[in-house]
A and B are shown apart, each in its own frame.
Chain A
Amino acid sequence: MTHTRRLQLKTIPLILICIILGPLGNVLLGKAMKGVGSLNSATISDLVPIAPRVLMSGYIWLGIACLLGFFTVHMLLLTWADYSYVQPASSLSYLSITMLSYLLLGEAISPLRWLGVVVICLGVFVVGRTPPSTTGAPKDA
């Protein structure tokens, strides 16, 4: 097996884990926060009774655990894979968050929102296809 092939074999599964774990964390935070009631018109003093309810929610800790897991796997990936390889691939997480919001939270996703998400993915993909460091070594171009 070539070196590149071996690297791909461990990189691709970890990217997939990132694409699922990060959005899953956000979905769980959303689920937890919907459970404590809207803060849209809350005042600072309303936050006092709400804060313990947030901290007691299992979903919030599960969400934070997923985000920490995501962060760790992401860091791990970056120890061998190029940032300019990982970042465009993780643009797919905008698609997975939309999918997970629909599947797990029952949010209705309009075609307009799907279109917006696809354009964002495209944008993140293009941002990631640019050199990851421009300050350290002198540019060779």
Chain B
Amino acid sequence: MREAILFFFIVVAGTAGELCVSRAMKSIGEVHDFSPRSILSFVLQSLRLPWMWLGIALMSLGFFSLLAILSFQEVSFVVPVSALSYAAGAFGAKAFLGERISANRWMGIAFVCLGVTIVWWSRR
């Protein structure tokens, strides 16, 4: 049960955090100039956005959940199962960022889910 909750945080909070960061980044706009000065101003600008902080908080929750689960589960089990973020990412990106998910991408995601199911069966 605890395992399922931790995986939920790793996959859902981790992905939701990335989506928030992505949303923050898109609102800043594409970066064309990679000089240290403009990168610094880009970082400062991003830290003023609430979406960025929400993203950082959610990604931290995901990271600490990963640490917790690694204390009692095998790395070769945890990391492949957390590939479910590809599915969470696609659903989230569609709902939250309005991205279009192609049939091919759905097929890839179906493969990932199948693989995760197989790895789950190998659980000790």
Residues of A participating in the B interface, judged by any CB pair closer than 8 Å: 23, 26-27, 29-30, 33-34, 36-42, 54, 60, 79, 94, 97-98, 100-102, 105, 107, 109-110, 112-113, 115-131, 134-135
Contact = CB atoms under 8 A, between A and B. Distances in A.
A27 B117 CA distance: 22
B15 to A, nearest CB: 14
Interface in B69-124: 70-72, 74-80, 83, 86, 90, 97-102, 104-105, 107-122
Contacts of B74: 30, 101, 105, 107
Contacts of A34: 70-71
Best-buried of A79, A94, A127 by chain B (most CB within 10 Å): A127
Interface of B: 2-3, 34, 66-68, 70-72, 74-80, 83, 86, 90, 97-102, 104-105, 107-122
Contact of B67 (A23, A33, A38, A120): A33
Contacts of A125: 108
Given A116-B122, A127-B105, A30 B115 contact: no
Nearest to B75: A30
8 contacts: A39-B68, A116-B116, A119-B111, A120-B111, A123-B112, A123-B114, A123-B115, A135-B99
Contact of A113 (B77, B99, B102): B77
Contacts of A128: 108
A116 B112 contact: no
B71 A94 contact: no
Contacts of B72: 38-40
A27 B76 CA distance: 9
B115 A118 contact: yes
The B contact surface, by secondary structure, is: helix
B109 A127 contact: yes
B67 A54 contact: yes
A121 B80 CA distance: 9
A54 B66 CA distance: 13
Given A116-B122, A123-B112, A126-B111, A101 B75 contact: yes
Given A33-B67, A135-B99, 5 more contacts: A30-B78, A109-B76, A124-B112, A127-B112, A129-B108
A122 B118 CA distance: 13
